[in-house]
Amino acid sequence: MERTNQTIANEFIFLGYPSSRSLQLLLFILLLLVYTLTIASNILIILSVKADPHLHTPMYYFLSHFSFVEVCYTSTTAPKMLFDLLREHKAISTPGCLLQFYFFMSFGGTEDLLLAIMALDRYLAICRPLHYNSMMTSVACKKLAAASYISSFLVVLVPVSWISRLPFCIPNGINHFFCDFAPLLKLLCTDASISGLMFMASACVIIFFCLFMILVSYSLIISTILRIPSTIGRQKAFSTCGSHLVVVSVFFGTLMFMYVRPAGTDSFSLDKVVSVFYSVIVPLLNPLIYSLRNKEMKQSMWRSLQPLISIWKQKCITAQPNSHYHAEWCLRK
C-alpha cells in the first residue's frame, strides 16, 4: 500500500463523531453516565471483595482483578471520547494514539487471560475439589494474576513497536472514535501487510488460547456436573459458572467479530458501533452480570453500601428533625 501524499502526519483527526452538535451533546451525556456507572460498579466490586472476609477466595480474587482491568480498559478510551465530544478539533498526537492503542489492546488481552484463569479456577473447584485448596493457594493466585498482565503487555508490544517505526501520511483522518488497529493501518505510508499479519497473529494467539482453555475447562465442568446425582447439587455447581459464561460469551463474541474475521469484511459504520459496545458498554455489563447473578456478591455489595445508606438516612432525618412523617419517609427509603 503506497500512499500518494508522503507528508508525514504528527497527529490524527478523529472523524467518527456525528456532525450535529446537539447529537454530540446527547452522546456526551449518555457516555458520561455509562462511564461513571462503570467506574463506580467495578470499584464497588473491588472494595466489596477486599472488605468482606467471605469473599477472600480465589474466584473473587480474580474477579477483583478483572474489575480493576475493566476500569483501566474503558479509561483508555472513554475520557478522550468525552473530551472530544465537547470540542471542535478532535485530534490526538501520533505518540498519544499509539499509546492509547497499546494500552487498550494490552488491557483487553489481560481480560481474556483473566477470564481463562477464572474458568480454570472453576474447573479445579468443581472437578478437583480435594486438591483445590492446595493448588489455588494465595501465592499461586498472585502468580497467575501477574502472568496475565505481563504476558498480555509483552505480546501486544511486538506489533505496536513495529507500527511505531513506520510513517503515517496525510490525510490523517481516522474514521473512528479512538485509535484502533484497522483505521491506523490505513494511514501508513508503506506496505502494512507485515504489520497486519503480526497484529492478527498476536490477537489470535491470545484469543484462541484463552478460548481453548475456557472450552476445555467448561467441557470437563459440564461433564462433572452431569454426573452429580442430586438436582440441587447440579444447580448449585452450575450457578457458580453461569455469570462467568455470560461474560465470556459477550466479551469474546465482540472481540472475534472485530479482530478475528475474514479479510474483505470491513464495515466502518458497524465497526464503530461494535467498538463502542465492547469498549464502553461491556465494562458496565460485566459487573452488573456478576452482581445480579451472584448471591454472595449481592449480599457483600449491600453490606458495603450500608454505612453510606445509614449516613444518608441520618442526614435526611436531621434535615427536618421535628417532622415525624419526614423521618418515617427517610427510614423507609
Judged by DSSP in three states, 168 sits in strand
Q: So what's the pLDDT on residue 68? A: 95
Report the domain count for the chain. Answer: 2
Mean pLDDT by 10 residues, the chain (333 residues): 57 82 89 93 87 85 93 93 88 90 92 92 89 92 95 88 81 82 80 73 82 90 81 68 77 72 56 76 79 64 64 61 53 54
Residues 231 and 311 in one domain: no
132 is a domain residue = yes
Q: Contact at 8 Å (CB) between 107 and 69?
A: yes
Residues 130 and 221 in one domain: yes
Q: So what's the pLDDT on residue 1? A: 47
User: Could you give the dihedral angle defined by the CA atoms of residues 17, 21, 24 and 25, in that order, rounded to the nearest 10 degrees?
Assistant: 160
Residues 313 and 175 in one domain: no
Q: What grid cell was written down for 8?
A: 508525514
Q: Which of 119, 125, 113, 128 is nearest to 219 (CA)?
A: 119
Q: So what's the pLDDT on residue 259? A: 66
Judged by DSSP in three states, 173 sits in strand
5 is a domain residue = no
Residues 277 and 312 in one domain: no
Q: So what's the pLDDT on residue 237? A: 64
Q: So what's the pLDDT on residue 204? A: 79
Residue 150 belongs to domain spanning? 11-293
Residues 186 and 75 in one domain: yes
Residues 315 and 277 in one domain: no
Residues 216 and 311 in one domain: no
Residues 261 and 333 in one domain: no
Q: Which class for 268: exposed (0-12), middle (13-18), buried (19 or more C-beta within 10 A)?
A: middle
Q: Which class for 186: exposed (0-12), middle (13-18), buried (19 or more C-beta within 10 A)?
A: middle
299 is a domain residue = no
Residues 78 and 202 in one domain: yes
**Cell 453510606 belongs to which residue?**
308
Radius of gyration, CA atoms only, the chain: 23
Strand pairing category for 11-14 and 91-93? antiparallel
314 is a domain residue = yes
Residues 111 and 256 in one domain: yes
6 is a domain residue = no
Q: Contact at 8 Å (CB) between 35 and 280?
A: yes
Judged by DSSP in three states, 199 sits in helix
4 is a domain residue = no
CA dist., res. 330 & res. 321, Å (int): 11
Alpha helix segments (H runs only) across 76-127: 78-85, 94-127
Residues 272 and 315 in one domain: no
**What length does the chain have?**
333
40 is a domain residue = yes
Q: How many CB atoms lie within 10 A of CB 130?
A: 6
Listed in sequence order, the residues at least 6 apart from 122 whose beta carbon sits closer than 8 Å to its beta carbon are 59, 217, 218, 221, 240, 241, 244
CA dist., res. 270 & res. 74, Å (int): 20
130 is a domain residue = yes
CATH of the domain at 105: 1.20.1070.10
Residues 64 and 129 in one domain: yes
